[in-house]
Amino acid sequence: MATTTATITISSSDLTGDALSLSTTATLTKANSASGLDQTTGVARKFFASAQANTTLIAAADYTAGKAHKVYIKNTSTSNSEFVKVELGASNLSLGFLYGGDFMFIPYDGENDIDIDTSDVNMTVEFLVIYEA
């Protein structure tokens, strides 16, 4: 059984009067199970020479629906004005915008494609899916 952990920290010394310092770790397990997620795409990068619209980054058809997959996506741009818009499903439900350097980590049920729009030419998106059969 594979063991994969995800750790997030959020910290700020000047957002509030009391310093913010949060750290939490989760072990990524299969749906309704204590067994770890055991398949992964590995850390991948895709380069887009042209601006994209509703381009599938992660295809639901590649994953079993209704499971406890996890997805990481990062906009590797260093420009604050270059964004990747992340969308879910055929209706392109907007999740939000990843500006240069931003990333996200979400549970993924494998029921809808994850699509992206990119704001500019020559952008690279990094992603990782950890999943189960």
- Indicate whether 35 belongs to the interface with other proteins (CB under 8 A): no
The two three-digit tokens of residue 74, written as one number: 């990062």
Candidates 115, 126, 131; CA nearest to 73 is 126
- Indicate whether 56 belongs to the interface with other proteins (CB under 8 A): no
- Indicate whether 64 belongs to the interface with other proteins (CB under 8 A): no
**Which of 58, 98, 125, 129 forms a contact with other proteins (CB under 8 A)?**
98
User: What length does the chain have?
Assistant: 133
**Which of 46, 56, 107, 122 forms a contact with other proteins (CB under 8 A)?**
107
Kindly give, in sequence order, each residue whose CB lies less than 8 Å from that of residue 111, ignoring residues fewer than 6 positions away.
60, 65, 66, 89
Residues 76 and 120: beta-carbon distance below 8 Å: no
- Indicate whether 128 belongs to the interface with other proteins (CB under 8 A): yes
**Which of 7, 47, 78, 133 forms a contact with other proteins (CB under 8 A)?**
7
The two three-digit tokens of residue 69, written as one number: 């997959």
What phi and psi, each to the nearest 5 degrees, are found at residue 61? -60, -20
Q: How far is the CB of 3 from other proteins (least distance, A)?
A: 6
**Which of 19, 101, 121, 122 forms a contact with other proteins (CB under 8 A)?**
101
